[in-house]
Amino acid sequence: MPGTTVLRHLSGVFLLATALACPARAQEFEGAGGDPRISVSQPESTSQASGGYVRSIAPSLGPFGDPLGIRPVLKEKGIEYSLTYIADFLGNPVGGIRQGAIAEDRLNLRLNLNLQKLVGWEGATIHANAYFIHGTGLSRYYVGNLLTTSVIEALPSSRLYVLWFDQQFMDGKLGLRIGQQAADTEFFVSQTATLFVNSTFGWPAITGLNLPSDGPAYPLAAPAVRAKYVPGGGFSLQAGIYDGDPAGANRPGDDPDAQRLDRTGTNFRTRDPALVIAEATYAYNTDKDAKGLPGDITLGGWQHFGRFDSLRFDTNGVPLAAPNSTGIGRPLRGNAGIYAIWDQTLYRETNKDDEGLGFFVRAAYSPTRSSLVDAYVDTGLAYKGLFEGRDDDTIGLSLAHARISDDARRADADTIAYTGMPMPRRRGETVLEATYQALVVPGFTVQPDAQLILHPGGGIANPRYPELGRVKNAAVVGMRATIQY
């Protein structure tokens, strides 16, 4: 499907939706990714785009929680809004490109309009989300790693994130969503993994590093159509087609130029080759009277229909490192991958719905020759309510590994062979994270965090001090504070 564009598919799916239209009822979820909650250790608050249920600090503020008394009035009319403020204080006292510390923060404004209450349009909602981002990124300026240390790290900006219209059909079993969307809010999501600070536990690095402009994920979304079908019995199917280059950077990876090309989130590109993502999920033991512990299994994959540059050869088939190379990568067609997720509650405390031990593992493989990362895995454990009297606190330990593809590694070998200069060959990057989220009051959490980054950048030479060899393994420590209103 070379040259496929999102615009063509928008019209086709919209016509299908019109044909299927019937009375519907809106659904409400509290699980991350827009699914029923299956993880007893999903945290009280999360910075991951997939979100999840979070309580508000408003009741703890007394008369200052809603001084004008407008929130109940607006909710009755179908208008709901919320604010989330996240502040990170992180530093790498050991390793990385150089040592340093940063402060970064993000204010998130969400607005939901229930069109049934507003104008009598049954089963329809509108959702908008805007970000106000400040500060300096630790990964970009100090660590130099691929698995970004914080999920809120981005260039400072005020930007629209998502803006979509959702219509429910078939008594809520089928949902169609049209507008600017982000894939990381619904696809490739583990509810247990939303506890962690490192960005790869939200939108895994194998997607971000292989897709143009980091893919349709924070901080860049893209025009899209997403359909989700929930026939019952724990099964759900969803698929989305996105504009394949949210900012128009025309190159894969987490490139700061991509964010600069779309500073406000309002480019609304629709003419780029499409990205299609689809997944099927089976959730089990979700009923209240179920005897077993809840969990779910997801299988999914993606296909990008654009053209990519070879990581190793130029347009004439000569290694890019060769003196007679054109320096322009040979065009390759498409990028694709498959993934699997297992999210499982291992232990639930007696008479408790949201306390206990959860486990997750995600694995992905991208065999296309345009992939910088061809294999990825992450896993972890999280326990909510481990300590007496701290029922809403969550503690977790996780690990993620991204393997550099064979073509990228062979390109490094070519450079060594043609230049005769010793240099590191990239292999992969690993992060281990330990974190503890403590509830101060409902809607306000603090979260000390520690990460160990092994082989930052996949094992590249230090770009600031090449004479020092590879970028040294880095220790990252810090604190996060989150307020939900």
Residue 453's pLDDT is 97
Q: What is the average per-residue pLDDT within 28-51?
A: 80
**Separation between Cα atoms, residue 409 and residue 111, nearest integer Å:** 46
Q: What is the average per-residue pLDDT within 316-327?
A: 89
- Answer whether residue 118 is part of any domain: yes
Specify whether the CB–CB gap between 145 and 176 falls below 8 A: no
- Answer whether residue 100 is part of any domain: yes
- Please determine, for residue 53, whether its predicted confidence score (pLDDT) is greater than 70: no
Tell me the per-residue pLDDT of 136-171, one tens digit each, with 9 for 90 and over.
Answer: 899 999 999 999 999 999 999 999 999 999 999 999
Tell me the per-residue pLDDT of 294-308, one tens digit each, with 9 for 90 and over.
Answer: 999 999 999 999 999
Confidence class for position 182, pLDDT limits 50, 70, 90: very high
Any bridge partners for residue 177, and if so which? 166, 226
**Separation between Cα atoms, residue 241 and residue 7, nearest integer Å:** 10
**Separation between Cα atoms, residue 183 and residue 218, nearest integer Å:** 9
Specify whether the CB–CB gap between 134 and 238 falls below 8 A: no
**Separation between Cα atoms, residue 317 and residue 10, nearest integer Å:** 38
Range of the domain at 11: 6-63+81-484
- Answer whether residue 417 is part of any domain: yes
Confidence class for position 22, pLDDT limits 50, 70, 90: very low
**Phi and psi torsions of 203, nearest 5°:** -95, 105
- Please determine, for residue 372, whether its predicted confidence score (pLDDT) is greater than 80: yes
- Answer whether residue 68 is part of any domain: no
**Phi and psi torsions of 390, nearest 5°:** -125, 60
**CA 146 to centroid of chain Cα atoms:** 14
- Answer whether residue 476 is part of any domain: yes
Higher pLDDT, 28 or 326: 326
**Separation between Cα atoms, residue 177 and residue 235, nearest integer Å:** 19
CA nearest neighbour of 211 among 244, 243, 162: 244
Ranges 242-256, 301-315, 339-353, 462-476: which has the least confidence: 242-256
Residue 198's pLDDT is 97
Residue 280's pLDDT is 97
- Answer whether residue 71 is part of any domain: no
Written as six digits, the tokens of 460 are 């590249």
Helix (H, G, I), strand (E, B) or coil at 356: strand
Mean pLDDT of the residues in the chain = 89
Q: Which CATH number characterizes residue 452's domain?
A: 2.40.160.180
Any bridge partners for residue 239, and if so which? 227, 278
Query: What is the residue whose two structure tokens read 């600017």?
Result: 180
Confidence class for position 3, pLDDT limits 50, 70, 90: very low
**CA 381 to centroid of chain Cα atoms:** 19
Please provide the distance, in angstroms rounded to a whole number, between the alpha carbons at the two ends of the chain.
45
Confidence class for position 67, pLDDT limits 50, 70, 90: confident
Specify whether the CB–CB gap between 61 and 215 falls below 8 A: no
Give the helix/strand (H/E) hosting 76: helix 71-77
Number of domains in the chain: 1
- Answer whether residue 396 is part of any domain: yes
Residue 255's pLDDT is 62
- Answer whether residue 41 is part of any domain: yes
With a threshold of 0.75, does the pTM exceed it?
yes
Q: What is the average per-residue pLDDT within 125-133?
A: 96
Residue 288's pLDDT is 79
